[in-house]
Structure 1
């Protein structure tokens, strides 16, 4: 079905067409507007809404027979009468509402008099009729409320006449009907009050229209006179409205009247069943003029009417049970427009209707079953083209070619059955010479269609035996270049060029052996640039650029190692930038939107992280403002290249739920954009898509705490600090942006000053929760953006005070301090007497102790000097036990280094060349290297180190295998570790010639609780020798076997042995040097000498520890295999 647009700027045009083209209107569908509904299911207290107002904060208030309703765009709060609360609403039947110039909400009830709601306090004040008080309200059934420009509040009652309120003292002056006075009010039931430009009042009553002169306090009456056309159409006047031109509109029981106040002439508008442009019902309940001058009329049985002042024609909108977003009920009781331009309609029985003018900007063309001519004959749209004469040609999947005449809303269908199409799947449409059309078909090749004849006049198909024929019958895209050649993108057949003069096709296809061929044979979008290059979108082969002169392609594809490459190789669409032709925009199948700068060849990617709703971009069309419109896998998106901002439109914006497809997009000559999909197409003028530029009001609505009643905030609450207890450990604040255009797209950010360091982006979440706040003062700030992303940066704020527990209060601390001082003073006086008595005794003791301490200090000094001397001797002995730092082996470059953390430590190294005689009497040369760490510090560690060092040297000569060496060493040192408090960690290696490789060496390693060997290969690779074992001398009752690891070494390889003091070196921040830094340091060190590596590792440790003394012994041994051994 088609849906005509009724945006604010097009209403007049549509109504003009309905009058000027009555024949067309009879065939066209009725204009459709999208009405959103708010019903009892959404929280309304009643389905009848008599009046609607918006307060200063932005809340909407609905007057119903079952309570007063406040709406924030998301939730409804209901205010009802409570007999136990005198400050509550006086009566639940609260149908008439009014906001005065001070922001006070006045409520007229049916039986409970007049109520005043103070927005600052949330308290109601009732003004009731008192028969004993003539200055009280004349009747408790209030039907209308009005404030004049002089600040007088007028209250119209049902049966009590007209009341003027003195707001200073709460008294009323009453004007009633007096049969004996023709200048009195004509009837005591008042329906509506308005003020004319001359400050007089016009009053609608159940018996005539009244004109009140405040100066003389007299009424002039206007009754219906059947003999006088210049009288009201009926004496029961239900509503009044004074428009911006000074015309008084009168809603009566028998139609709509317009009174020219200058000439006092009446114009009557009546329902005429024979005229569809007449008023749709004669009982008028509501009249309203919106900000654009449109006059809306609510009727009792005919729904809503829109009046065109120029043509004096009405367009009607009624409830349709088959259309979910039609008007909810035909009895319309109230019409008003909020600050953001949303129209609200109250109905009797259908709740509230919301009409968003900006949601009427997208037009839709859909499928009509049985192909009756008023809709598409197939739902899936694959190609679109609008001719200069306005005719819209639509290619469908399965329905052939559809011709749509917008003026008459009529469709004509051309199929294989009636027009000679070679397939009913039309995937591409392109204008041809003479008003004809090229049709690209799926499964049918290429057709030339003549609209005048209504049939295909030429068909081109794939011929397997003819290389000059079309390469494939599945066509995705068409393009006519400047030379007159027709380019055809196919599915599976690559790219074709047709010479219309000869009828010959030239094929361009993918060739794996040719990097200058087409990247893939599935071709979609085509674009010819100003230089004549043809840009080709392929599925799987990236973006291709064809030089027609050479026939060679340049490919632009995805490179995972190059972020400036194309994001995905499935490419659907391409367009030049509207403002800079050097920039191309590319839509991909799973890589979002790409921007190609042709001067640099670099791509910039835009995906979901940047705001794109889906990584799939089917079509791209520019508008006249420089924006790009994208059909994506998740709706329609507008992209601004200048700001990088995406705005996505969906059903809440009036957009039909079209599932878009590739190839189905088109821009007409007048700038209208078309996008098609599996269930029809949408079209619109981008200039008609109006952003909501009004920043939304923001309110904090309530606070919830577990186990406690919710706190609803009034304006006064927001002006003073909210005091909470430290026991309120979970606080949830709810807030709302009072913009009703599209509340689902309103966004929020909040910050609790004193807790949050920055704004928290809440998205569309409308609450903020804080737990366990420390006692103190805070300020909660909330800001919001409307559906177009316009932020109210000022937002709203609320001060919070979290009270501390009593023991943290100043007075408690002061009291405790005072008590402490008093107790301290008392204790002081008691102690002073005791101290005085002891002082004399202490004087005697001091003299005695001084002599004793002097003698003791002298003894300690001598003992310490002796101990230091012994430690120095032990250190020299320990150092003398260690071999020189460089053994001087000709075959191997070995350098050793050790540093004790104290005067005497437990680390040691040992090396020894050993010559053993093999079984054949041949002498084998091996080189042994070991690094050890005797546990403990000082003299015990030194003793264990000396034993371990001497034992290692002697065992190397006697034992054939590294495993055997550890076993003998374990037995040798156990007598020295029998207490179980000491042990010795040792990493033992042997290096010998490799029998299997002429220039190779073999490393054999065993490990007893030490750091395993680390190898740096000549090529820079780092690897650990995986060998583990328990420390020596543990005296455990377990049968543990040490394991040996063997590694082959080549010239230039290095072996690094270290004690645990290296990896456990500590930075000033108490961070360990660790294995990873050891690997990095070895990898970054010099590879040419062992001494250079030792120096590099020492410097790395010094830099890491900040030059501090080591807290553990350090030992490093580096072996490097010489290049020419």
Structure 2
């Protein structure tokens, strides 16, 4: 991808930017740094204008040619140049000194198309002139539009205030786009016009008068993307008359200024969010919606980590934060509709929430480090007494999790034992066993209540027998003392999965006597990115989604495979939190972490596009290798026997993977096997013997799809003169 700027020409390969500047005294660099207009010719060269002249970037040599206009005396002239079209013979551009010109870049001959329309800084910008498929030029002016046939017909004005206006009311357009059917799309304040010049008619599509359509890009199906001056990005379907405000899942558009956009052949939308830079909107967005700093800023909230979730009967999502209280999210509008801060009239007097529960009666329960709170009919919260003095037993009020049984009991896990609230009760009661446990995530499994104990494994008992206060059969069972259990996930009546701080455990329940049998223990050796796991959520395809200390993992139990999602997938961060997971009634998954939370709905689309790869640079004996032809365009290279230590750099040309690419290389036959480099994009070879070699490099995208045809570079390391065939012939003669 190439980008113009006020400070040179920028090339981006998906990983790094290379910036081409003007270097005084070097005629193979840019002349001027204000770059305007970009056109690629059929040979792969790039034409760009600056405030001085027209320039051609030569891909083979990685440098520039300059093309200046001259006056009648042959003196060089300078001025802004904007190229807008190139074919196999000519490049067309508009400039200040001449007007509209076609340059034959093979012969150097210049053809003046018209001098009536020249670049003027006050009325012309980069996209002020376009060429339609029939060869006509369309020039946007301060008022209206001019159509010009290069064959010689007079210019025709449309939507202009000029006396010779042919059609339409005077209108100031901000952009225009000719399309293949012969029509033009015209953007302006408050709407769009589709103009059919051959039929002398137009269709007006009004929109909000506060929106200025500043750029237009069109998909093959006719759908339009609209960039605006300060109202964000829009998606318009003309046939249905539907205009959608595009809110990217990855929150890339934090700035509503989207006046310049580009839709590439992979479906990526590139947006100039001036002055913040370039934003990418991917067609294969992983589906992870990021709710981080940018989201909090738009909602008037400070950055915060998320500790817990709950969904109420209205479908609203309650979130508990690390240090900023509770807030309620409307998942339809993606807006925070309520913030319960410690200082608010209806909040809880705590800035932390470790767990939230919406019970069968529609009440919200909130566990904190300083007690348990419950909402009442007035939508305010009050502290629930547990009968233990706060002053002497504070840890008994540190609530970690809650669960409601089908019998209506609420069970509470704390740092000092287990408590319960019977149906209709106003206070909590201590369970008369396990009072020394520091607990965590509670889980109901059939008639069993599962309780983790910090660094001491898991406990389970039949909660129905314990809720029957007159009952005599009360047994507590203890398993896996060596593990720290973060979450239990029952699968059916007999399988129980556990998220541990040492991996993922699969167990099976044996009924008599109750026991848990280990069936499998998955660790980093099996593909987990981290063994510190937090939450497990099942999808409709039989897979588990697991939060960890190194991102989110999709686990396929049938295949025993792991797919890892990281920061490049727009996760809130690597580290997630205990208790911070939820599946909503609409099927949305939520995982909370130290820098925000993610929301998504499986399945997550895979990136099936294998990346291209290029050799980008080479050092020989520690010094950059200089070649007449750009290294990325070379197919073969010769080195002397003294240049046998070298480093090769390469890059995947991949914009869909957000820089997450892996590489394999080999120098055949020096390397007999492929070398896996992970994400490292360079390799160094030392003391390579003279001979003929073939360097091969291939790359994989962020979903592990490898390019099957490697990029190759033939490297010949010449023998020293005394080791050549001629030298050996001389030796033989002397002998």
Bin of the TM-score, shorter chain as denominator length: 0.7 to 0.9
Residues 1:160 and 2:98 aligned together? yes
Q: 2:531 aligns with which of 600, 615, 622?
A: 615
Cα gap change, 1:344/1:368 in structure 2, threshold over 3 Å: closer, same or farther?
closer
Map 1:652-667 → 2, pairs under 5 A: 652-657=568-573, 660-667=576-583
Shift of 1:770: 0.6
Q: Secondary structure at the match of 2:608?
A: coil
Mapped partners of 1:123, 1:396: distance in 2: 54
Q: 2:651 aligns with which of 723, 736, 757?
A: 736
Q: 1:288 aligns with which of 206, 217, 220?
A: 217
Aligned partners of 1:404 and 1:412 also within 8 Å: no
Q: 2:433 aligns with which of 498, 509, 512?
A: 509
Aligned partners of 1:377 and 1:413 also within 8 Å: no
Shift of 1:443: 3.9
The C-alpha deviation readout for 1:88-114, integer Å capped at 9, x for no partner, is 65665543221134423223344333x
Q: Secondary structure at the match of 2:291?
A: strand
Q: 1:595 aligns with which of 493, 496, 506?
A: 506
How well do the aligned residues superpose, as a CA RMSD in angstroms?
A: 4.7
Cα gap change, 1:575/1:101 in structure 2, threshold over 3 Å: closer, same or farther?
farther
Q: 1:481 aligns with which of 388, 397, 405?
A: 405
Shift of 1:83: 8.3
Shift of 1:439: 4.1
Q: Residue 493 of structure 1 corresponds to which residue in structure 2?
A: 417
Q: Residue 318 of structure 2 corresponds to which residue in structure 1?
A: 393
TM-score in terms of structure 2 length: 0.79
Q: Residue 221 of structure 1 corresponds to which residue in structure 2?
A: 157
Cα gap change, 1:419/1:85 in structure 2, threshold over 3 Å: closer, same or farther?
closer
Shift of 1:412: 4.7
Q: Residue 1037 of structure 1 corresponds to which residue in structure 2?
A: none
Q: 1:383 aligns with which of 308, 313, 328?
A: 308
Aligned partners of 1:373 and 1:412 also within 8 Å: no
Q: Residue 825 of structure 1 corresponds to which residue in structure 2?
A: none
Q: Secondary structure at the match of 1:813?
A: helix
Cα gap change, 1:343/1:636 in structure 2, threshold over 3 Å: closer, same or farther?
same
Q: Residue 234 of structure 2 corresponds to which residue in structure 1?
A: 306
The C-alpha deviation readout for 1:114-141, integer Å capped at 9, x for no partner, is x44442344645544355699x999974
Q: How many residues align?
A: 697
Q: 1:176 aligns with which of 98, 114, 136?
A: 114
Mapped partners of 1:675, 1:789: distance in 2: 24
Cα gap change, 1:380/1:461 in structure 2, threshold over 3 Å: closer, same or farther?
farther
Q: 2:497 aligns with which of 577, 585, 591?
A: 585
Q: Residue 411 of structure 1 corresponds to which residue in structure 2?
A: 338
Cα gap change, 1:805/1:313 in structure 2, threshold over 3 Å: closer, same or farther?
closer
Shift of 1:619: 2.2
Map 1:809-848 → 2, pairs under 5 A: 809-820=724-735
Q: 2:361 aligns with which of 412, 426, 434?
A: 434
Shift of 1:210: 2.5
Q: Residue 485 of structure 2 corresponds to which residue in structure 1?
A: 571
Q: Residue 36 of structure 2 corresponds to which residue in structure 1?
A: 95
Q: 1:541 aligns with which of 446, 456, 481?
A: 456
Aligned partners of 2:51 and 2:78 also within 8 Å: no
Cα gap change, 1:417/1:775 in structure 2, threshold over 3 Å: closer, same or farther?
closer
Cα gap change, 1:140/1:359 in structure 2, threshold over 3 Å: closer, same or farther?
farther
Mapped partners of 1:417, 1:708: distance in 2: 64
Mapped partners of 2:99, 2:159: distance in 1: 17
Aligned partners of 2:398 and 2:415 also within 8 Å: yes
Shift of 1:687: 3.8
The worse-fitting range, judged by mean Cα deviation, of 751-760 and 222-231 is 222-231
Mapped partners of 2:59, 2:298: distance in 1: 57
Cα gap change, 1:339/1:508 in structure 2, threshold over 3 Å: closer, same or farther?
farther
Mapped partners of 1:742, 1:373: distance in 2: 27
Q: 1:297 aligns with which of 227, 233, 241?
A: 227
TM-score in terms of structure 1 length: 0.54
Q: Secondary structure at the match of 1:792?
A: coil
Mapped partners of 1:713, 1:388: distance in 2: 70
Shift of 1:697: 1.9
Q: Residue 454 of structure 1 corresponds to which residue in structure 2?
A: 379
Q: Residue 143 of structure 1 corresponds to which residue in structure 2?
A: 82
Mapped partners of 1:204, 1:102: distance in 2: 29
Q: Residue 59 of structure 2 corresponds to which residue in structure 1?
A: 119
Q: Which has the higher contact order (CA 8 A, sep 6+)?
A: 2
Mapped partners of 1:504, 1:78: distance in 2: 66
Aligned partners of 1:624 and 1:671 also within 8 Å: no
Shift of 1:84: 7.1
The worse-fitting range, judged by mean Cα deviation, of 792-801 and 222-231 is 222-231
The C-alpha deviation readout for 1:500-545, integer Å capped at 9, x for no partner, is 278896836349xxxxxxxx7222223334x544433222221344
The C-alpha deviation readout for 1:355-388, integer Å capped at 9, x for no partner, is 344389424278999xx99566995644321123
Cα gap change, 1:70/1:713 in structure 2, threshold over 3 Å: closer, same or farther?
farther
Q: Residue 469 of structure 2 corresponds to which residue in structure 1?
A: none
Shift of 1:419: 5.9
Shift of 1:818: 2.3
Q: 1:265 aligns with which of 202, 220, 226?
A: 202
Cα gap change, 1:604/1:291 in structure 2, threshold over 3 Å: closer, same or farther?
farther
Mapped partners of 1:368, 1:729: distance in 2: 53
- Structure that is richer in strand per residue: 2
Shift of 1:801: 0.9
Shift of 1:729: 3.5
Shift of 1:351: 7.5
Query: Unaligned stretches of 5+ in structure 2?
Result: 118-122, 390-394, 466-472, 511-515
Q: Which of 1 and 2 has greater Rg?
A: 1
